[in-house]
Amino acid sequence: MRMAHTSVPTTPEQVSDLWLARYTSPNTRAAYESDVRLFVAWCAARGSSPWETTEESLAEYRAAREADGVANSSIVRQMSALRSFFDAAESMGLCATPFAGHEDPSEVVSPTSTLTAEEVGLLHAAADRDPRTSALVHLLLGTGLRLAEVLAIDHEHLSGSVNSMRLAVAARRDRNTFVLSRETACAVRRLRKSSATRGPLFLAKRSSNGSDTRLTRFGADLLIKRAAGAADIARSVSANVLRRTYVATARDAGDDIDVIRRNMGQRDVRTTRRYLSPQQPQPHHQATTPKGDPHVHASAFRSVP
């Protein structure tokens, strides 16, 4: 008996229809359909097929969205939609997903979106006016932690003096202890002195019933943008930009790419390399770190002159 021939969808629109059918929420389907249409239109304007998408072109697309002034939260959702769309396309045998290692889509970034050394200095000076902002900026620029990991820090996760302050990141299975630089430790100690002795390190304003609430991502992003505005930094500055700047700074300091990967909590070193510009040198040596903690990058131990 001859099997009936079944046509395999080949156009982005056909794949999108099948992919969106898995979502029950009309709002989600509408938002994701719009996200994919935007990307397909961008590919068409470049004269390329969505099935030819690479990691590099994804980074270019994100950079284009940023240049258009699209909010970071919207870009993260759009990249999440594209990751799911390409997973569906890959399962149909149409292409390999360009999301290497299936990492968090918020980490598909433009390698050029980093702050200069001068901008970092200006941002620190502006952030130092507020203990929360100062500690937030120091931790994002100095450790490679995700914003969610920074906001989840409790007082109990910190130990030691400013010369040897350690931070435990309990949610990580690998690379879960950081030795903070003296500058970062000083900023954290200043915040600890101005807040409670237990519970969340980063607090929002007190709620109407007087209880302490943890600072949200929205609140943290607002603090960073206010500091960037006070520093007269023209470009948009976010937690992602600070994290990318950490990678560039650590690499310039000679830190090994695998050490940086572990600091950032990433599984695949290819994801980490996407944070580096093609012109950035690739050191061939392992940075020297204090004995007993081989995963902490060397710049974490640099003291204030």
* Sequence spans of domains, the chain: 12-107, 117-301
Give the CATH number of domain 12-107. Answer: 1.10.150.130
Q: If you search the block for the tokens 């702050």, which residue do you land on?
A: 115
- Average pLDDT per block of 10 residues along the chain, 305 residues long: 47 90 83 92 90 85 81 80 89 82 51 79 94 95 89 91 87 75 93 82 70 83 92 86 90 88 83 66 39 39 31
Predicted local confidence at residue 242, as pLDDT:
92
| Residue 266 in tokens | 């990433």
Predicted local confidence at residue 286, as pLDDT:
39
Return the closest-CA partner of residue 107 out of 222, 272, 252. 272
A 10 A CB-CB count for 157 gives: 16
Residue 14 host element (H or E): helix 12-20
Classified by CATH at the fold level, domain 117-301 comes out as hpI Integrase; Chain A (1.10.443)
Considering the entire predicted model, what is its pTM?
0.57
Distances (CA, A) of 302 to 146, 206, 252, 253, 287: 21, 36, 14, 10, 13
3-state helix, strand, coil in the chain (%, to 5): 55, 5, 45
Distance CA 50, CA 122 (A): 40
Predicted local confidence at residue 68, as pLDDT:
80
Return the closest-CA partner of residue 78 out of 106, 110, 113, 109. 106
